[in-house]
Amino acid sequence: MANLINEAEVRSTWAPIIESATGINDANKLAWMSTYCHNHKLYEDANIMSLDPTMNLHGMGNAVLPVIGGANGSGDKAPTLLPLAMQVAAQTVGLDLVPVVPMAGPMGLLSYLDFVYEGGRLDNAVTPTYIKTTAAKVGNDILVGTSRIDGKNIIKIVDALAAGEANIAARYAGAELVKALEDHIKGFAAADEAGSPFSRGAGESTPDKVMGLSLFSKSVAAETFQVAAAVTREQVQDLKQFGVDAVAQVEAVLTNELTQSINQHILGAIRALGTQNVGSSFDITLPVAASLAGGETVSSVHRAILTQVLAAANYIANKGRRGAGNFAVVGPQVATVLQSIAGFVANPMANTFSQAAGAIYPLGSVAGINVYTDPTMAWDSYQVAVGRKGDGNSAGLVFMPYLMAESVQTIAEGTMAPKVAVKSRFALVEAGFHPETQYVTFEISGAWSNLINLV
């Protein structure tokens, strides 16, 4: 399903509606939510709200079970609710941590690019100039450095293919091209391997070395979260006496359940990648209050947590080469400590909508890092996840929604009680070659039983 109007028109049509319905005024979030609403509306128009020539909706008709090789089923479709989808998208704070690229269908392509040094092919006789491998150099080939990402050897190919060598992969098993957005070859744009510049005459007579562009596409399929709830006829009747719509309350609870499930799915992926990136090397151990000396206080020790968050953010800039980390997710006790430290500025985030109970929520910002509290973490959980939200074209996690919320209501034949089912379909994709470089996860530990007082 393709978008039928341009992005500017989509934005001008949907942004005022979204802002009015949800209170969102953040430009980035309005942009992707406008695209999502446009796709969702096309889906509804094409599959559900089709009108007959008399401009009346088709009736559902009798349900018919499908028969293999025979008649089709009834083809009834669950009605999707765009307002419900908008609320799920607005309340899911996890979507503030990762870029969002809406899908127009249940399958999608996520494209990203990289540049390689001099290009070339590993699988034929077009020999590349530079490769990356775990093997040692062979013959006259030159070792020019090691990869800052995975420690592999970066080798400049000097010797031509020998007899029996069909390609460079026959010489270096597991060889790969060197990607410029991950590693840097010091002498590539220079006169020699040491990185010295060309003289005027040499610069005039030396051909430019060429960077190769590689475009990669990753095929993704929407996955599903689904949940349902039922109420009795007595509950519907009794709650009406208090002005409460039981079915609406059930739908609100199901929406909250979807929101929390998506939040935790995103956070779980972020924490896993952050641990994969640094292991335990960023973990810090704080002393107990009784061992403090020389003017140290509990607050000065707490300040080390903030320093570690800033260090993790800068490590992401150093390792990922895309920019520093710009968010951190902490537990409630760590959030309390950060709020108590002088210099921590509690600001509201750009998203001003009301959060559903139990969802992660923005706490404030410090040194350009937005801090979020995850209330589902245990009080004594001291894990901190720091990451960088990219633009969808770089390494890291990308959230690709197809249908943020699809709702269907049925009436049980035996009890005549209403039942509501809600489903969300999306893909959470690890984009790029090293998505883990955009996240750091570390633990705070010590001999204390309470982080706040260090006792």
The pLDDT assigned to 327 comes to 94
The pLDDT assigned to 422 comes to 87
- In 3D space, the residue among 391, 376, 394, 392 whose CA is nearest the CA of residue 437 turns out to be 394
For residue 139, tell me if it sits in a domain: yes
Same domain assignment for residues 397 and 410: yes
Residue-wise pLDDT for 44-58, tens only, equals 666 554 444 444 444
Residues contacting residue 446 through CB under 8 Å, at least 6 positions apart: 285, 286, 287, 288, 454
Same domain assignment for residues 285 and 398: yes
Q: From 176, 201, 218, give the residue that closes a domain.
A: 218
Q: Are 87 and 425 in contact (CB under 8 A)?
A: no
Q: What is the DSSP letter of 162?
A: P
**Strands laid side by side in the 130-133 sheet:** 142-146, 153-156, 130-133, 176-177
Q: From 169, 186, 218, give the residue that closes a domain.
A: 218
Backbone angles phi and psi of 144, in degrees to 5: -100, -5
3-class SS letters over 208-228: CCCEEEEEEEEEEECEEEEEE
Residues of the chain where predicted confidence (pLDDT) is lower than 70: 1-5, 44-87, 90-91, 342-360
The pLDDT assigned to 82 comes to 64
For residue 250, tell me if it sits in a domain: yes
Same domain assignment for residues 262 and 407: yes
Q: From 181, 196, 218, give the residue that closes a domain.
A: 218
Dist. CA 228–CA 213, nearest whole Å:
48
The pLDDT assigned to 345 comes to 63
Q: Measure Cα distances from 418 to 58, 131, 242, 401 in Å.
A: 23, 63, 19, 28
Q: Measure Cα distances from 345 to 205, 285, 318, 387 in Å.
A: 57, 25, 26, 19
How many domains is the chain partitioned into structurally?
Answer: 2
Same domain assignment for residues 149 and 264: no
Same domain assignment for residues 208 and 298: no
For residue 13, tell me if it sits in a domain: no
For residue 260, tell me if it sits in a domain: yes
For residue 315, tell me if it sits in a domain: yes
The pLDDT assigned to 47 comes to 58
Same domain assignment for residues 205 and 233: no
Same domain assignment for residues 310 and 247: yes
Name the residue range of residue 212's domain. 112-218
Dist. CA 394–CA 111, nearest whole Å:
9
Dist. CA 108–CA 115, nearest whole Å:
24
For residue 411, tell me if it sits in a domain: yes
Backbone angles phi and psi of 447, in degrees to 5: -85, 0
Same domain assignment for residues 214 and 312: no
The pLDDT assigned to 314 comes to 95
For residue 313, tell me if it sits in a domain: yes
What are the residues facing 224 on neighbouring strands? 425
For residue 99, tell me if it sits in a domain: yes
Dist. CA 98–CA 106, nearest whole Å:
20
Same domain assignment for residues 195 and 249: no
Same domain assignment for residues 228 and 310: yes
Residues contacting residue 132 through CB under 8 Å, at least 6 positions apart: 147, 152, 153, 154, 155, 175, 176, 177, 178, 183
The pLDDT assigned to 166 comes to 85
Same domain assignment for residues 315 and 410: yes
Same domain assignment for residues 249 and 356: yes
pTM score: 0.77
